[in-house]
């Protein structure tokens, strides 16, 4: 493989200037834009037909630069398949060309203008959820040649400059769509708060579900749209993964686990309570038996006491009657006159 002459690094520059200058790399649908490719000689001091590398003295500078430029209109989007997604790019229209440019003097420049209407390549195959992009790709080479058998053979030498610009085509329908996406984020926040409140209400406690990421997305998207940066707004949305649903699910699962642990503890406590209840019933039955036996004994004692009282009264009454009889006998004997004595 032949080694071409080495061009001094940084000796030539390439720049694309767009008019009007698009804000946020966005161009308006239906508008025309001019792309000026500016080639500047910074310090390339090799004259035409001089050797590129004086030490090798084989390849000479032809005096020209070769510019390759291509234009591509594409549609881009994201294809969602289940939980995963895949980005895609489909070319709608492509064209390219090349130009010979005379090397300007040191400090000088040459300009090549190109026109583009942003409606080119934009057709009904593009959905509002897809981006239409316009890409300008340029490469600049130093042309070299070598003589062989009396003929000049030309080669592309070093790549001395390149630049790629990518623009997003903004249409009225696209702007409306981005606004609808922000509305969807607003609705998602409202729905999230309602769903969380519906779960927390019966629980009587806060689950602490984190909505800060979704609210930050809402704020950032709103700010980008306010500035007119629709590309950034959609990039924020497409790069966001809604975590609040997973967070809510995790908190609910944790709550269920806590409830299951509580139910298990309650079941254990219920078993213990049932055992204690059975023991209490046994003790209560034994106590009832003791109480019944005690009552029987007390009743027997009361009956015996009652009988003893009755017998005591009868005994005392008999004694009283006997004493009364003796008193009467005594009284009668004391009142009887003595019989006369017969001499």
How confident is the model over 85-115, as pLDDT tens digits? Answer: 788 898 889 999 999 999 999 999 999 999 9
User: Quick one: pLDDT at residue 337?
Assistant: 42
DSSP type of residue 51: B
**Is pLDDT larger for residue 274 or for residue 316?**
274
d(CA 53, CA 47) in angstroms, rounded, equals 12
In a domain, 280, yes or no: no
Count of residues for the chain? Answer: 343
Residues 234 and 108 in one domain: no
* Predicted local distance difference test score (pLDDT) of residue 65: 94
135 and 208 housed in the same domain: no
Contacts of 119 (CB under 8 A, 6+ apart): 29, 30
Residue 160 tokens, joined: 């001395």
214 and 146 co-located in one domain: no
Host domain of residue 232: 176-242
Place of tokens 């019933």: 281
Residue 35 counted as domain residue: yes
Please answer whether residues 67 and 98 qualify as being in contact, where contact means their C-beta atoms are separated by less than 8 angstroms: yes
Q: Does the global pTM surpass 0.85?
A: no
The more confident residue out of 168 and 88 is 168
**Using 50, 70 and 90 to split pLDDT, how confident is the model at 329?**
low
Through-space distance between the first and last CA atoms of the chain, rounded to whole angstroms: 206
Output the pLDDT for position 2: 45
**In the chain, how many domains are there?**
2
| The predicted structure's pLDDT at residue 163 | 95
Per-residue pLDDT at 266 = 57
Domain finish residue from 170, 197, 232: 170
Q: What is the pLDDT of residue 197?
A: 83
User: Does 210 score more than 90 pLDDT?
Assistant: no
CATH number, residue 81: 2.60.40.10
d(CA 210, CA 201): 17
Instruction: Mark whether 106 and 89 lie in a shared domain.
Output: yes
Domain boundary residue, one of 196, 224, 242: 242
Q: 109 and 69 in one domain?
A: yes
Q: Does residue 1 sit within a domain?
A: no
Tell me the mean pLDDT in the region 238-256.
61
The pLDDT mean for the chain works out to 79
């Amino acid at each position: 493989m032949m080694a071409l002459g080495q061009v001094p690094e940084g000796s030539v520059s390439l720049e694309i200037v767009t008019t009007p200058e698009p804000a946020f790399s966005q161009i308006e649908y239906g508008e025309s834009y001019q792309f000026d490719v500016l080639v500047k000689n910074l310090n390339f001091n090799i004259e035409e037909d001089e050797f590129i590398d004086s030490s090798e003295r084989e390849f000479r500078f032809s005096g020209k630069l070769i510019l390759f430029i291509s234009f591509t209109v594409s549609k881009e989007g994201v294809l969602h398949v289940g939980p995963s997604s895949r980005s895609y790019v489909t070319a709608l229209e492509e064209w390219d060309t090349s130009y010979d440019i005379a090397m300007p003097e040191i400090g000088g420049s040459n300009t090549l203008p190109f026109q583009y209407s942003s409606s080119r390549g934009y057709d009904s195959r593009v959905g509002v959820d897809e981006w239409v992009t316009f890409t300008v790709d340029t490469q600049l080479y130093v042309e070299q040649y070598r003589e062989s058998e009396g003929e000049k053979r030309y080669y592309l030498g070093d790549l001395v400059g390149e630049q790629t610009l990518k623009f997003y085509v903004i249409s009225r329908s696209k702007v409306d769509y981005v606004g609808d996406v922000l509305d969807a984020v607003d609705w998602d926040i409202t729905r999230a708060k309602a769903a969380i409140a519906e779960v927390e209400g019966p629980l009587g406690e806060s689950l602490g579900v984190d909505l800060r990421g979704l609210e930050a997305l809402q704020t950032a998207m709103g700010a980008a749209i306010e500035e007119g940066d629709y590309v950034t707004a959609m990039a924020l949305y497409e790069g966001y993964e809604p975590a609040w649903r997973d967070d809510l699910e995790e908190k609910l699962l944790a709550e269920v686990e806590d409830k299951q642990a509580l139910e298990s503890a309650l079941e254990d406590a219920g078993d213990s309570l049932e055992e204690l209840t059975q023991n209490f019933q046994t003790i209560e039955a034994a106590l009832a038996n003791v109480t019944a036996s005690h009552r029987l004994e007390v009743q027997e004692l009361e009956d015996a006491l009652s009988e003893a009282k009755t017998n005591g009264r009868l005994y005392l009454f008999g004694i009283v009657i006997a004493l009364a009889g003796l008193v009467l006998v005594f009284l009668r004997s004391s009142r009887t006159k003595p019989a006369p004595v017969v001499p």
